[in-house]
Amino acid sequence: MNRSRRTWRDLGGAAVVVGSIGVFHAAARQAGPPPDPIVRAEATVKVSPHVWVIPDGNVPLVPNVGIVVGAKGALVVDTGLGVKNGQAVLQEAMKVGGRRKLYVVSTHFHPEHALGEAAFPPDATIIRYANQQKDIDEFGLALAHTFASRSTAARDLLEGAGFRHADVLFDRDRTLDLGGVTVHIFGRGATHTRGDTMVFVEGDKVLFAGDVVMNRTFVAFASPYSSVSDWIASLDELRGLKPGRIVPSHGAMGDRSLIEQDRDYLTALAGRVRELKAAGKSVDETVQTVGEEFRARYPDWTAPARIADAVKSAYVAASRPMNNLFDIHT
């Protein structure tokens, strides 16, 4: 892992999470200043018998927030950017879930997903994937400082924000019984980050996919640990869940076809990178060629600048033996 990480840095990739911020929210950019990154609890929608979603409204630095309610407990998936947003999420969770026992999980450690958790009461149980904790330990609040430097609104929201201590750390899988509602929480990757965490509400067939599955948006290789092969393997596992509804971290919800779309993209990209590297093309030449080809192949997808980091990750991986890489996923 560390050897691959150094090689990616040598190739000029997104060596740290902060380095990829230029494309991290490109999908939501619009002309002029973006709206303030506020979670709009009044927009909450019920998407299944036990699941509510506060949509992001396509606003940068706002996640799709999930609330899952059972007879005994309620689980919040992502908490927004800073304490003010966390308070809005908490109030909405109590509105739809009453005073049930509260659990909180973040799809990954980026500030708009995890830094609202400080608003939750001390008896709320913070559940965290062990690799997400490693991301927190390694990268800390560096990304929060970057966000805070970009706008007054983000700075104010992030003032005093920090990560809560995890009450429950799990290695790969955790099952949570909310009372008549079974939730499977699982960490996989390295994909968007090393500690990506997904939540599957089993009876409702709702999958909170984090940034691992996106809706007509190029996925973001936002970590030095991001791996094309790991990403494809994670998508293969998600296929088996057969979700009826997928809630990505950002952007519109969709059905299981989103998994197939992202898998097809990454598989094709990995194969094309391997071809070009075998033909002697440099990483820069490969980035240019694949970028042009895949922009043309997916003309209605947003955030095409993200293709470059995916190519750089795949270029490093293309040096490994085929039987350990992409052929097992095709």
Residue 18 belongs to domain with CATH number: 3.60.15.10
pLDDT band at 31 (very low <50, low <70, confident <90, very high): low
Decide if pLDDT at 147 tops 50: yes
Mean pLDDT, rounded, of the chain: 90
Tell me, what's the pLDDT at 11? Answer: 34
Determine the average pLDDT of the residues in 128-152.
97
Cβ neighbors of 268 (< 8 A, separation 6 or more) are 294, 297
Would residue 158 count as lying in a domain? yes
Decide if pLDDT at 326 tops 80: no
Tell me, what's the pLDDT at 189? Answer: 82
Tell me, what's the pLDDT at 75? Answer: 98
Cα–Cα distance measured from residue 330 to residue 327, given in angstroms and rounded to the nearest whole number: 5
Decide if pLDDT at 329 tops 50: no
Percent of the chain with pLDDT over 90: 85
* β-sheet bridge partners, residue 197: 187
Tell me, what's the pLDDT at 34? Answer: 83
- Which residue's structure tokens are 């509510």? 52
Would residue 118 count as lying in a domain? yes
Answer for the pair 224, 19: CB distance below 8 angstroms, yes or no.
no
pLDDT in tens, 199-257: 999 999 999 999 999 999 999 999 999 999 999 999 999 999 999 999 999 999 999 99
Tell me, what's the pLDDT at 228? Answer: 96
pLDDT band at 32 (very low <50, low <70, confident <90, very high): confident
Would residue 311 count as lying in a domain? no
Determine the average pLDDT of the residues in 11-15.
36
pLDDT in tens, 264-276: 999 999 999 999 9
Cα–Cα distance measured from residue 178 to residue 73, given in angstroms and rounded to the nearest whole number: 5
Residue span of the structural domain in which 38 resides: 2-256
Decide if pLDDT at 314 tops 70: yes
Answer for the pair 259, 239: CB distance below 8 angstroms, yes or no.
yes
Cα–Cα distance measured from residue 231 to residue 212, given in angstroms and rounded to the nearest whole number: 7
pLDDT band at 319 (very low <50, low <70, confident <90, very high): confident
pLDDT in tens, 240-255: 999 999 999 999 999 9
pLDDT in tens, 179-193: 999 999 999 989 999
Tell me, what's the pLDDT at 321? Answer: 61
Q: Where are the alpha helices (DSSP H) in the chain?
A: 2-10, 21-24, 82-97, 111-114, 130-139, 142-148, 152-158, 228-241, 257-278, 283-297, 307-317
pLDDT in tens, 77-112: 999 999 999 999 999 999 999 999 999 999 999 999
Would residue 203 count as lying in a domain? yes
Decide if pLDDT at 328 tops 70: no
Would residue 148 count as lying in a domain? yes
Would residue 304 count as lying in a domain? no
Tell me, what's the pLDDT at 33? Answer: 79
Name which of 66, 64, 84, 91 is nearest 76 in CA terms: 66
Q: How many domains does the chain have?
A: 1
pLDDT band at 8 (very low <50, low <70, confident <90, very high): very low
Would residue 262 count as lying in a domain? no
